[in-house]
Structure 1
Amino acid sequence: MSASAASSNTPTAQKLLLDCDTGIDDTLALLYLLAHPSVELAAVLSTAGNVPVAEVDANNRALLELCGRDDIEVCRGADGPLAIELRTCEDTHGPYGLGYADRPASTAPSAGRPDRDAADAWIEITRDRPGELVGLVVGPCTNLALAIRRDPDLPTRLKRLVIMGGSFVHPGNTTPVAEWNVLVDPEAAHEVFTAFGTDGAPQPIVCGLQLTEQIAFTPEHLTRLAELAGSTPIELATAEDDHGRRSVSDNRVIALLTDALRFYFEFHHSVGEGYRAHVHDPFAAAVAIDPGIVQTRPAVVDVELDGSLTRGMTVADEGGFWGRPANAQIADRTDVDAFFDDLLSRLATLARRIG
């Protein structure tokens, strides 16, 4: 039995439902959760976002099989947002979400019920384990919003909810004011924020761009990861490398992450943000495991749906102007170096185990 599987039987295991639109930083988040000895993944829920949902679902299944965890259920979600057409960002994450990396081979059927969609998984798993589960949404909120439409009591059954999304007193990354996950499905984000924070439902911890854009993965981090994993040869990605250069690492996990992150570095470099990558999602995963790594501030968070220039903007009322109780905790501050120390150490342990 793997270390991750063994940890699920311990009383200290953090039980998580991961809802993701697996591109590159989602891949890091999923591998980090699989590597963490204190995490039990109840299911992985696929949502359309970075790439279409069929690609997301294939990525999730392949990554779980690579890690020897095809015992974890994968549930496919909706093909697109609640009220608008789906937009994807292959320019950021590659043609099917993994940058230059080849999708690992996947042949095993998923655990769980093959006919269960992601919204029903949110409902049924939380019914089976009320008060136990931490929800982690690192893509658009579509699946969770659909689940709440079907079962409005769902929020009260979650122990905690962590959302990677939004931007607060900080520029957006898709429009001047809007962050990608929220802008893909603003109606879903609005419905989710409206459903939480009252009547016994927890206040979601919201990891927005004002914090997650400080979580910058660099080529030096990638080299350090390879060294910790004992991978050879040790490679250093640079902005001068030919685009599309592929890893020659002898470790499958390190090669996959190198090829994925090189694409991500190149994208960020092409838009003037330096040869590095904002890895929003593994940071949100770390907060889901241990919310003590962030300082937060309470606010009423809502999403602009009608503005011709501001659609998808997350708006935070911290001054009581709306006369509504706080429905969220905005993640404010963290120790970035400590986060990367933990992330790289755990990914390296996973890489050494898989080889």
Structure 2
Amino acid sequence: MNPDKYILIDCDPGVDDCFAITMALSQNPKVKVVGITCVNGNVNIKQVAINTVRTVKLCGMLDQVPIFKGCGDPVIIMPGAIDSTAFHGKDGMGDVPDVEPRADESTGACPEKAYVLVTRVKSLNPHEEHGVNAIMRLAKEYEGKLEILAIGPLTNIAIAVRLDPDLPKRLKALHILGGTLRGHGNITPCSEYNFYVDPEAAQMTLRSFSKHCLVRLVTYETTLDHAVPVDWLDQLLNGKDKKRTFFREIYKRCQNIQLHKISEGLLRGYTICDIYAVCVALEPNCVKKSRKLRMGVELGGHLARGSLIIDHRNKGSPFLTEGTIEVIEEICLVQLKDMLARAFS
């Protein structure tokens, strides 16, 4: 049976990426994940690769899904390190390296000083090909069929399209988790994390792809507007099987932070950002409302760098995308929950 979709996941695990990867892999064989490319984001690139391997191993698909290390730095390196270890933990996965599958020799990594994990490159990543090269190659191999699910900073995608300007024409679609629609940021007052980590890559990607292939954008506010009910997710993760135990443990740190925000009225429920982009990519009929808009990413300033500027009134600017991008505003929460539940069935 031929798959209905061919997906390449570009990611930076992060706990929410782990949920997203598991959701996508659970759709096999209907959905074929042709590869996963890793990018510096929530944690450093070495740790991102380790976290990806642990997740794919949990799903029993290490022999089916190739994993590639991509870019370890943004397009332009700015002063000061940016990561989300305060939220995801020092290892990006809740600082529980002993939860199966463990971060040890079996996944190509071994614990060092409790949190810092070092990589045994050969066992972690037998695919020596760089993630950017893998993106270009797979787009040619699956020309006209491949959809990229980009749920981290867009560095790999931006570099790939600079090396291969025809890349957008080869894709069926590009699905992005990033940016804001109403300027409600999660890293600065107005900037979303993925775009803030590498604003130049976000701008390069949006401008390069908008004219040549379908681009769907799930913004941070869309995740906030469709929060997962606390009781529902707690019940879903309540079980003794390996997968539920793994996610229950790696999610505890994020969970406690979000429960505190919920108690303060800052969140409506759990927001596992990347899962929304997966749902849109794999079940497009979950979209209840969207708009096609032109936009650009602010590259300067002290307050607004990395913020997404949307041309709501069609004023125009040479710094905006030439083509429109479909901004997802409303999705069916029932479908999202159903897809997430199937990942644990």
Q: Do the structures match in fold with TM over 0.5?
A: yes
Match of 2:140 among 119, 127, 144: 127
Distance 2:123 2:138 in 1: 16
Distance 1:178 1:274, change over 3 A: closer
Helix, strand or coil at the partner of 1:342: helix
TM-score of the superposed pair, with normalisation by structure 2: 0.86
Query: For 1:197-216, what aligned pairs fall within 5 Å after superposition?
Result: 197-198=210-211, 201-216=212-227
TM-score of the superposed pair, with normalisation by structure 1: 0.83
What is residue 66 of structure 2 aligned with on the other side? 73
CA displacement, residues 56-81 of structure 1 (integer Å, 9 cap, x when unaligned): 10011121122211121100011110
Q: Give 5+ residue unaligned stretches, structure 2.
A: 109-121
What is residue 168 of structure 1 aligned with on the other side? 181
Query: For 1:166-315, what aligned pairs fall within 5 Å after superposition?
Result: 166-198=179-211, 201-226=212-237, 231=239, 250-271=240-261, 272=264, 273=266, 276-294=269-287, 295-315=289-309
Verify: 1:59 aligned to 2:72, yes or no. Answer: no
Match of 2:160 among 140, 147, 152: 147
Helix, strand or coil at the partner of 2:343: helix
Question: 1:291 offset after TM fit, Å?
Answer: 1.9
What is residue 31 of structure 1 aligned with on the other side? 22
What is residue 89 of structure 1 aligned with on the other side? 84
Distance 1:111 1:204 in 2: 32
Helix, strand or coil at the partner of 2:309: strand
Distance 1:189 1:70 in 2: 30
Distance 2:303 2:107 in 1: 46
Distance 1:46 1:256 in 2: 21
Helix, strand or coil at the partner of 2:143: coil
Distance 2:303 2:48 in 1: 30
Q: Give 5+ residue unaligned stretches, structure 1.
A: 1-9, 232-249, 350-355
Question: 1:115 offset after TM fit, Å?
Answer: 1.8
Helix, strand or coil at the partner of 1:167: coil
What is residue 316 of structure 1 aligned with on the other side? 310
User: Does the CA contact (< 8 Å) of 2:107 and 2:123 recur in 1?
Assistant: no
User: Does the CA contact (< 8 Å) of 2:74 and 2:198 recur in 1?
Assistant: yes
Question: 1:169 offset after TM fit, Å?
Answer: 1.5
**Greater mean deviation of Cα atoms: 159-168 or 323-332:** 323-332
Distance 1:110 1:118, change over 3 A: farther
User: Does the CA contact (< 8 Å) of 1:203 and 1:328 recur in 2?
Assistant: yes
Verify: 1:45 aligned to 2:37, yes or no. Answer: yes
Number of residue pairs the alignment of both structures matches: 316
Verify: 1:326 aligned to 2:323, yes or no. Answer: yes
Helix, strand or coil at the partner of 1:32: helix
Distance 2:94 2:17 in 1: 12
Distance 1:91 1:111, change over 3 A: closer
CA displacement, residues 147-202 of structure 1 (integer Å, 9 cap, x when unaligned): 1111111111110110000001141111111000000000000000110122xx11
Distance 1:265 1:259, change over 3 A: same
CA displacement, residues 221-277 of structure 1 (integer Å, 9 cap, x when unaligned): 2333146xxx3xxxxxxxxxxxxxxxxxx3111111111222112222445435953
Distance 1:110 1:287, change over 3 A: farther
User: Does the CA contact (< 8 Å) of 1:264 and 1:277 recur in 2?
Assistant: no
Identity among equivalent pairs (%): 28
